Structure 1
Amino acid sequence: MSYVRFPTKITAGVTFKHSFNLTAYPATGGWSLVVYLRGATSINMQSTADGNQHLFNISAETTKTYQAGHYGYSLRAINISGEVEELDSGVLEIIADLSAINTSTDLRSHAQKTLAALEAVIEGRASLDQERYRINNRELYRTPLETLLKLRSLYRAEVAREQAKAKGKSLFGQVVRVTLE
């Protein structure tokens, strides 16, 4: 497999443009590129020749039909004699089209939702001193406050990692954002 990297994110409802200049697989030499995405749905993308380059130019009309989620992908070079080479594979994320999402949709991550729920429980427990009680042969057990505090710490760290990643920072505070054009 050669060193070729396909983008790891595609936004639904937005034009997707990406080009490859591959000297070993020139578009003028009878090669074309195909990307196979498999996940919530099956998506195939075909490149077009732009001189020696391979251009993926997928319209917003087409990408708006893409279902959000994580997809496995395989980028392949195919020549006119039927030879197939896999150039890259991995996982990419199709991000939902915000213009098509209902206003009441909660776009927070699992970690953000769980942290908010834990903090609400902890806040509500501040005035309760019993961990369990029984009334007429019915018992109620509450999660110990110590356990809730440990879980809150874990989820705070997870949310902090997500936020750092979204800002392009590593765990060491170095900016590592790379923009491919």
Structure 2
Amino acid sequence: MVIPREDLLNITMNLTEQEKIYLGGFVDGDGCINAQIVRRKDYLLKFQIRVTVSFYQKTKRHWFIKWVHKKLKYGSIRKRNDGMSEYNIVGNHAVKKVVNELQPYIRIKQPQVRLVLEIIEKLPEAKDPLTFVALCERVDLFERLNDSKKRVITSETVRSELGID
């Protein structure tokens, strides 16, 4: 089910304190907070900064991923071909809302929490190429924080394709 954009603003999670603590620990253990640069031909600057919160669990415990989705209300779940289930929350508003809710209970991934919130906050100002590339440089920090192996598009890619020296 796709939730209309205007309705995303009105979603309330109604999590108990215990659920927040548990989900904060789940993010630390089997979750990921990330920002990445993706190509977008329909965008003026040809790239988009995409923010995501993801949860992973073996598909035999898919019911658990469904429970987390029911609690957080944003995003989508899928069963992967490798025996894992994945729950992804994508987009500035949804990620900001979920991360703000769980931030006090996330311990290990606090650097990712702070960085993703900073990027979300600065995104509306990143309309010109120089400001956008500077924000892409902040996105590059996720490569080290998350031990990324597949990251292909970096701030250097954006800089080069936008013709910025």
Whichever structure has more strand as a proportion of its residues is: 1
Structure with more contact order per residue of length (Cα contacts < 8 Å, sep ≥ 6)? 2
Larger gyration radius, structure 1 or structure 2? 1
